[in-house]
Every structure is written in structure tokens, then in C-alpha cells.
Amino acid sequence: MTDEKIFISNLNDAAWNQHGPERIAIGANPDLRFCYLVDSNLHQSHGLSVGCLVIPAGGELPPHIHAPQEVYFIKSGSGLMLMANDQTRAVTADDVVYIPPGEEHGLKNNGDVPLEIIWMFPTDSWKEIDYTYLDR
């Protein structure tokens, strides 16, 4: 039996963050805002971390790789999914993107409103994930 219980997180109540100096030094965009919705550092949970990322108009989540697979749900806005070999694919509200483990990816907001995504990892916490940002 586990001590975990059902909990509900509301995006409007979440604490919003921006990347700190350590992440910026390895290539993270300091203009991005993100919050955690399901994370073992906040709740009794395991095996899944979920959060929200906001990319401002004209902004970008730089191309990167990490070991775990990931899913994006495009909540609002539109943009370009950045993929290996300079490939791109348009994404818009209500799209779901599956990213295999170790696959190069990023997002560019090519719209005039914020691009909001919900991300999901099969990890206890987002902080477990080692990002490698790629130069293009």
C-alpha cells in the first residue's frame, strides 16, 4: 500500500519559475516561464512529472536532448517543433507530440501570442532530467 493520494493541481495556483544561472549557462532560454503540476518534490507521487511551459511570442525552447521520453500537449498558441537535421513541423493548440528518448527537439513560437504547452515525463521529478542543449 502506498501513501499516495489523489490530488488536484490548478495551473492558476502554481508557482511559476524561470531558469537560473546554472541552466542558462548550459543553453536554457532565460525568458521561458514554467511550473510544476505533478512532481515528487511537491506531492506524494512517483513515476510521472507534469508541468507547463510558456514560450513568449518570438521565443524558443532551444534544441536539446535528454534520456527520458516526453509528451507535449499544446495548450494554446502555435509554433514550430524543431527536430533533428533542421526539420520542423507546425504545431498548434490541441496537438499532442511524442518525443522518443534521446531525440533532438525544441519549440519555436512563431505566433504573436504565448505558446503554452503541458509537458509530461516518466520521472518522479523534472529536476531528475539532464538536458543537453545543442548548438545549431
C-alpha neighbours within 13 Å on the C-beta side of residue 135 = 1
* pLDDT, tens only, 59-106: 999 999 999 999 999 999 999 999 999 999 999 999 999 999 999 999
pLDDT of residue 2: 65
Indicate the pTM of the whole model: 0.92
pLDDT of residue 1 exceeding 60, the answer is no
Strands (DSSP E) contained in 7-77 are 33-38, 49-55, 60-65, 70-76
Smallest CA-to-CA distance from 63 within 106, 16, 20, 18 is with 106
CATH number at residue 72: 2.60.120.10
Distance of CA 16 to the CA centre of its chain: 13
pLDDT of residue 136: 60
In a domain, residue 62? The reply is yes
pLDDT of residue 135: 79
Q: What is the mean pLDDT of residues 53-60?
A: 98
pLDDT of residue 111: 96
Task: Look at the chain and report how many structural domains it folds into.
Answer: 1
- How buried is 133 (Cβ within 10 angstroms: 0-12 exposed, 13-18 middle, 19+ buried)? middle
Cell for 77? 498558441
Instruction: Please give the residue range of the domain that contains residue 94.
Output: 24-133
Q: Which residue has the higher pLDDT, 135 or 2?
A: 135
- Distance CA(128)–CA(30), nearest Å, equals 20
116 to each of 27, 30, 32, how far by Cα in Å?
20, 16, 10
